[in-house]
Structure 1
């Protein structure tokens, strides 16, 4: 059995864990990053060619994190020489009160959007059909997830971190407030801190160690649709109220974005079947696939609704859809990113490094002991 002494072990080499390793190594910590699967694997939530970047949230804390993340993505691009964030503009449309709340929140945060008539939006982006009011955000865009994870790990390694793939962690044992043991096969790592950013495996690794909220792991199934032309695509979110959802038979609102080389990505949000991450079949659920194609026929005139490639990914969702970013003793927790976390990756990395190195805590809404939301 090999024994290793380090300052911090990061468990999980997706976006969040890789960003934590980058920031920890940049802060002078001796870091090892342990990822259970091979480089570039598709079993988690940080793979693929596209994720939406947007600042359009109603909660100021998320707007602020997105603004920080935008600056940090550019910092990572400068350091790595890799283009990661492409600005395309983003639109929110629909007939719900959410749009007015979005507009008020981003304006208050100094990132105002622009109201467009549906006809004006259709002239700019004819691939979309618009439902009611359209709120345009010029800062919206697209992140390349695979390239981002690779860049984060490369920069972490450049700063001294050790990155190990195909290294599943089998146990985490707390030995004291500043001592934790992480076991991975024949290797045992002794550290002052462990950062657990294990995605769908968070519950399996952290159960009994920290008071996690219920984490719902689902297998989501967006799809790439073949575009019918060369028109530009913004990132988009279609907000649908309960009556509209019931009338159309859709399980949720829809998000999407153009993805060069793949097509136009579109998907429902957080509506897939509950799965065990170790027992996934990666197979599309037929009813949701049909509903998504029907949506494309009705609302995406710029794609061929019958020419599509299903995608399989996981969501790990908390009851409030807020993240868990907290620390108990030597254990730092990053969990429950609820299908909307990737845009925040470098900002979350900074938070996790702060929790590990100085104990600095983020907004209370990310705490493990946040009071439950009463409906």
Structure 2
């Protein structure tokens, strides 16, 4: 632990998954940390709530495979420290577009991770709750994360390491000076040596005049939970890639305490987080009912329980984790970021310390050059 770090005060704005992970790693690394969250604990206004998120290593980009491996180790460290189970290792399957599926298999193999290629018939024997088309990729190093529990544990471990966690405290403005930064609240101003902004859909509102951000797109998404017919069935996390019989944007799904969750990726309307609605869109619900009826023989498709959440994404689908002076910004994680949460917190701590450089994949500078290439999500 660096002696110098104990003299620095770091304010983290945003108590969702990434901000909470940053507060945890920074506190463990010896910084004085204040974590500010504008809403109450366990709120549903952002992108970090709910009972389940997918954990998987299967990415077309090897850098994400390696980041998932780092995250898996840190999830295990977090579970051991708190005595709380966060990950369920159910495995994961990909099917649909054969080129996408085979491409993922190649990257997993190149990374030394075990996988299987199955026929639709063989896969259906393993997972009778699902119907498959074309080729099926199964990799065991996958499953799901309990999102609500993870955020609570991250904040609890941050506090145990000395962080000051404050809910119902909204950052209205940031100012940067020669000796650090200030966070202006409704009734106070907090001085900091550095500030980490992990404010999700509110990032552009807070940083728009300080940092040249790319356009961050916030949409209101609407997955749904369906009751399983047989509660004893094991459900892997699954991605149905667009192509073959599926004429859509693709579907993701996984088991959860609330039922079998499925959703479309990034198809919702653009919204502002302060004015978004929580009422389900019946058109989206009908699409998910139709998908469940055709592809999920293990659920009752007539009893959907739709929920809403926010997606905030960058133009290329890759994250922003970068430092500009005393400000470190972490944004654009929606759709596939939750699995990496503790690794992103660790990366943020490294950027704050100056001990590591921003990865090119997550740099703000990438938006000033060539046209970005979209990332494979979920």
User: TM-score with structure 1 length normalisation?
Assistant: 0.95
Is the CA contact 1:8–1:32 (under 8 Å) kept in the aligned structure 2?
yes
CA contact (8 A) 1:96 1:240 kept: no
Partners of 2:284 and 2:133 in 1: CA distance: 21
Secondary structure of 1:369 counterpart: helix
Q: CA deviation at 1:124?
A: 1.0
**Match for residue 170 of structure 1?**
172
Moved over 3 A (4+): 243-246
Indicate the larger mover: 196-205 or 90-99. 90-99
Contact 1:322 1:338 in 2 (8 A): no
Cα distance between partner residues in 2 of 1:279 and 1:100: 42
**What is the deviation of 1:373?**
2.5
How big is the alpha-carbon RMSD for the aligned residues of Structure 1 and Structure 2? 1.3
Alpha carbons 1:61, 1:363 under 8 Å: kept: no
Task: Find the aligned partners of 2:370 and 2:214 in 1 and give their Cα distance.
Answer: 9
Matches of 1:96 and 1:202 in 2, distance apart?
37
Structure 2 equivalent of residue 136 of structure 1 = 138
Give the Å deviation of 1:285: 1.8
Matching residue of 1:65 = 67
- Displacement of 1:112: 3.0
Name whichever structure is richer in strand by fraction. Answer: 1
Match of 2:319 among 323, 336, 361: 323
- 113 and 60 in structure 1: CA distance in 2 versus 1, 3 angstrom threshold: same
In the alignment, does 2:102 pair up with 1:100? yes
Alignment partners' CA distance in 2, 1:283 and 1:238: 26
Q: 2:4 — aligned with what?
A: none
Name the residue aligned to 2:371. 373
2:254 maps to which residue?
A: 257
Residue by residue over 1:198-239, the C-alpha shift from the partner in whole angstroms, topping out at 9 and shown as x without a partner, is 001011011021111111000000000011112110000000
User: How high is the TM-score relative to the length of structure 2?
Assistant: 0.94
* Corresponding position of 2:199: 198
Unaligned runs of 5+ in 1: none
Mapped pair 1:310 → 2:318: no
User: CA offset at residue 95 of structure 1?
Assistant: 2.6
For 1:42 and 1:226, locate their aligned partners in 2 and report how far apart those are by CA, in whole Å: 22
Contiguous gaps of at least 5 residues in structure 2: 1-6, 374-378
Query: Residue 357 of structure 2: which of 352, 355, 361 is its match?
Result: 361
Q: Verify the 8 A CA contact 1:351 1:361 in the aligned structure 2.
A: no
SS in 2 for 1:18: helix
- What is the Cα deviation at residue 96 of structure 1? 3.5
Looking at structure 2, the residues matched to 282 and 300 of structure 1 have their Cα atoms a distance apart, in angstroms, of 26
Kept in 1, the 8 Å contact 2:120–2:134? The answer is yes
1:278 deviates by 0.1
Q: 2:324 and 2:221 mapped to 1: Cα distance? A: 31
Aligned length: 364
